[in-house]
Structure 1
Amino acid sequence: MSDAPEQTTSRAAQRGPEVVEGRRARRAQRRRIQKILAGSVGAVLVLGAGGGVAAAGIFGVPSAAGDLGITRSEVPAGEAVFSCPPVPRVVEGSTAEGTDPQFAADSESAESALRAAVVSDAAERLPGSAITTLEGEDIERLAPQIDPAEAEEAAGASADGYSGQRATVRSGVDEPDWAVLRAQPLGGLKSLAGQSRAYQAEDGDLAGFAASTCRPPSNDQWITGASTEVGRTGLLMLANPSASAATVNLDVVGSTGRADAGNLRGIVLGPGQTKNIVLAGFIADDPSVSVRVRSTGAPVNAVVQQSVLRGLTPGGVEYLEAGESAGPAQVVPGVMVPEESNLPADDVADARPELQITNPGSREAEVNVRIFRTSGEVDVPGGATVTVPADSVATLPLDGLGEGSYTVALQSDESVVAGARSVRGTEESGLDFGWAASAKRLGNQHLLAVPQLAPVHLVFGSAGGASEVTLRPIAADGGIGEASTIVLDGATTRTFALDDLEPDAVAVLIDASGEAVFGAQLVLASGNGISIPSIPRASEGQRSIAVDVTR
């Protein structure tokens, strides 16, 4: 018997090694593309053996793929999702680290209201939309679902040949727990939608006013402004409105340094699940605490319910919302400073206006601060340069500015996060506080569902140059009114009462052009109530993914 191998030849061998390897490479490439298309699409570059995939940003922002001439494929948009935090509740009982606290009944006068708005496409098609529980059960429906095949078609005009937009609005929705607005995509684009929650109480430990711009879930967010001093409760509330699980990791930084605890990592949230965490379990007796919430898997919603109790006297309540990601530049619009005569005694430190700067890095940060009011740039109390040690939070008092509304701009040699506290009232008449988070530059198609229960002011700030902000009011019947244009020229802050612009507006479409302009809401309620929710981010356009199938 011969030891030589059999001389049989497979079909693959008959085709030649080049053909076989070429087909194998193409199959492997297709599997890589399918994996990436099934995942989330963002401004990232993914490289694999034998080829590459690059994802372009929204509205065709240039990417490495674009520079290389790589073909882009459009990716269908998902539903628009905006989650509102629950009504504020009093924390009681054991607050062991990493566990959900117990809650007690509180105010007899407390009231809360949700408002949601959804805008049609140019063909006046309203997307299927509803306010739901975290598990997806309907609480209130805004518009019936459109057949998926029909919804996927882009439509620039109605069946009659006309184009335009209309809206649908639901106000006064009574839901004390997490509430999620979901709107189906139309024509391959995320639908324009928005939701807000307002809370007000005149008695109890949580007396005060708080409003939230309900936000989409995120995989990475920074929240500043919490306090864990005696009588102050910072409650981090997490929720997962997605259909898949999330694993959450926390970074908690205070004025005395960074928290180091094992239970900051690996917090698992299944679909529809929530978790409430008392921040004092990580850093106790600290007046300035910031928290970063990052998740793998599903994106999550995060907000801090912050309340103050000075002895037996309530000192206000606020939703602390996520601001901008850490970076060398931060802008905080909507800061309000009261008259000097309305400021409390110096020993009530957290009832005075203040800027907080968080440095989460390992090196000291030197931050230059600029402040603008209606008349232009003003001197910074205490000096324009603030040094922030590594892994800590530094503060800058703002009560020396004088009465008015301000925009604060920061430039740092290290990545930082910023926010500012505003106060309203006196120790005799009752105090409340609002928190202004850092903001993103305004763009096109911001939909603001106006918070209920109190008058709303819009605050716009610019660090220089000329810019315009266009406002289109939406009425309760869904009609979209005539546009009003606000001009900002130079470094300034402008504040407008929404009732003066449009008394009957329940929602507002906001567009900005020209030089960079930033905005916030300033809500002033009865009984010295104050809250400073953000202006929602601009609507996302078509996302695309660029695929390089060359070897």
Structure 2
Amino acid sequence: MRAGVPGGETSLLELQTLDQAPVESTVTDGVLSADVDGTALLTARDEASGQVVATTTRASTEGEDPGLSQVTCRGAGSGQWLVGLREGGDDRAAVVLTNPDDRQAVVNLELHDETGLLAAPGSRDIAVPGRQSVVVELGPLVRPTGALAVQVETTTGRVTAVGRQRGYTDSRPRSSEWLDPGAQPATSQVLPALPGGDGARRLVLFNPGERRAQVGVEALGDGPYVPAGVQGQVDVPPVGTAVVELDEGFSDEATALRLTASQPVAATVEAEDPDGDLALVPARDPLTGTAAGVVGTVPDAEGELVLANAGAEPARVRLTGPGATQEELEVPAGTSLVRPGDGLVAVEVLTGGAVSAGTVLSGDGGVASVPLQPTGAGAGALLPRPDEHLW
């Protein structure tokens, strides 16, 4: 786990296990690092509240969770969407629910696939005891299916929800990845920080409404273009999912997708490297002010920062990197820019545009992607006070 406070002090951060035991950590170049076994709680005090960002990175070549995976640390909430999990065949999916509070939380899961809302006995009134995590395996809840959309709603208390996707080949673990909740359904969506290069690319769309949705898909590179594999508008059934098989290697560089829909939709891209390691990239809201992230460090892997402007006007942004180094960039309308990423990185939108941002980590061990997290005023809906982040 790596955490930072853009423009602030890591001394205002406290890292504990869920049962409130301290977790040993070190600080280098303004980044707090710790080896975390299981779920932990990160609390920010005073001026660091609303400013802290953190990412957990896991790299392994063995066990049930091989490959490269990342997940952001987020505050708990009451309603979240997980789009793009798969259950059946060589795929196993779960939803991990964590309760940071002392009192019990109660959660309902609503599951959808391409046929619509699924009957899922055991998906309602799930008790999550105080300061504990509960893993809900989706296999016992639904028949083998394709891409799923899962709505997580609490009826009592609050939880942090994250999806866990495992893939197998001949019963042997092939990949493991976390799925962060994505942006709420909307008629305009951006999926930033899609890994470039070869490997399967699948766009999973979910329509929560009662009317069919027609969705236009564009990639943002040197300019907007329709990625290979997309044939006109994509039809998404009411309360159901749809999958678009994009051509492998449609972009050599990390990029972004822009969606324009007739009805609100949610979306995730499933991106594999040539060896089958999986990255899950959900849609994200545009930045409002400043966002930041901590690029993971893994041997033989490189980090990249991806900036995408889905708006009609050019945007100017200020990047602040390790050592408070700064750079101003213009991101033309309908394009994405890629920069090397390392350590604590902050992006401030100075003028214009609808900028989204994330980081991609890739190497011989796999591929992973996480978004930058809002800080300051833009973080109010995501970061409760005190700032309690879970992963």
Q: Which has the larger radius of gyration?
A: 1
**1:488 is the counterpart of 2:331:** yes
Worse-matched range after superposition: 360-369 or 321-330 = 360-369
Question: Which position in structure 2 is the counterpart of 1:523?
Answer: 361
Shift of 1:244: 3.6
Aligned mates of 1:277, 1:336 — CA distance in 2: 29
2:20 alignment partner, SS class: coil
From 223, 248, 259, the equivalent of 1:410 is 259
Shift of 1:449: 2.2
Question: Which position in structure 1 is the counterpart of 2:387?
Answer: none
**1:178 is the counterpart of 2:39:** yes
From 19, 22, 30, the equivalent of 1:138 is 22
Question: Which position in structure 1 is the counterpart of 2:303?
Answer: 456
**1:533 is the counterpart of 2:370:** yes
Shift of 1:444: 2.5
CA contact (8 A) 1:199 1:209 kept: yes
Q: Deviations over 1:13-35 (max 9, x none)?
A: xxxxxxxxxxxxxxxxxxxxxxx
1:510 alignment partner, SS class: strand
Give 1:154-303 correspondences, 5 Å limit: 168-171=30-33, 173-186=34-47, 190-303=49-162
Question: Which position in structure 2 is the counterpart of 1:117?
Answer: 4
Worse-matched range after superposition: 281-290 or 432-441 = 281-290
Aligned mates of 1:214, 1:535 — CA distance in 2: 11
**1:421 is the counterpart of 2:270:** yes
* Structure 2 gap ranges (5+): 381-391
Alignment-mate amino acid for residue 169 of structure 1? V
Question: Which position in structure 1 is the counterpart of 2:12?
Answer: 128
Higher relative contact order (CA 8 A, sep 6+): 2
Distance 1:208 1:337, change over 3 A: same
Shift of 1:281: 2.0
Alignment-mate amino acid for residue 247 of structure 2? D
Shift of 1:128: 3.2
Which structure has greater helix proportion?
1
TM-score, normalised on structure 2? 0.88
Worse-matched range after superposition: 432-441 or 252-261 = 252-261
2:122 alignment partner, SS class: helix
**1:396 is the counterpart of 2:244:** yes
Question: Which position in structure 2 is the counterpart of 1:439?
Answer: 284
Aligned mates of 2:251, 2:183 — CA distance in 1: 27
Aligned mates of 2:336, 2:258 — CA distance in 1: 12
**1:354 is the counterpart of 2:191:** no
Aligned mates of 2:317, 2:81 — CA distance in 1: 27
Moved over 6 A (4+): none
Aligned mates of 2:251, 2:379 — CA distance in 1: 45
CA contact (8 A) 2:294 2:343 kept: yes
CA contact (8 A) 1:365 1:412 kept: yes
CA contact (8 A) 1:205 1:309 kept: no
1:417 alignment partner, SS class: strand
Alignment-mate amino acid for residue 269 of structure 2? A
Shift of 1:373: 1.5
Alignment-mate amino acid for residue 210 of structure 2? S
Alignment-mate amino acid for residue 441 of structure 1? P
Aligned-pair Cα RMSD in Å: 2.5
Alignment-mate amino acid for residue 515 of structure 1? G
Aligned pairs, number: 375
Q: What is the percentage of aligned positions where both structures have the same residue?
A: 22
Question: Which position in structure 1 is the counterpart of 2:384?
Answer: none
* Structure 1 gap ranges (5+): 1-113, 144-165, 344-351, 475-479, 499-504, 544-551
From 235, 243, 246, the equivalent of 1:387 is 235
Shift of 1:193: 0.9
Q: Deviations over 1:466-493 (max 9, x none)?
A: 112222123xxxxx42211221112112
From 340, 344, 362, the equivalent of 1:507 is 344
**1:466 is the counterpart of 2:314:** yes
CA contact (8 A) 2:111 2:149 kept: yes
Distance 1:417 1:466, change over 3 A: same
1:139 alignment partner, SS class: coil
TM-score, normalised on structure 1? 0.64
Which structure has greater strand proportion?
2
Aligned mates of 2:379, 2:353 — CA distance in 1: 24
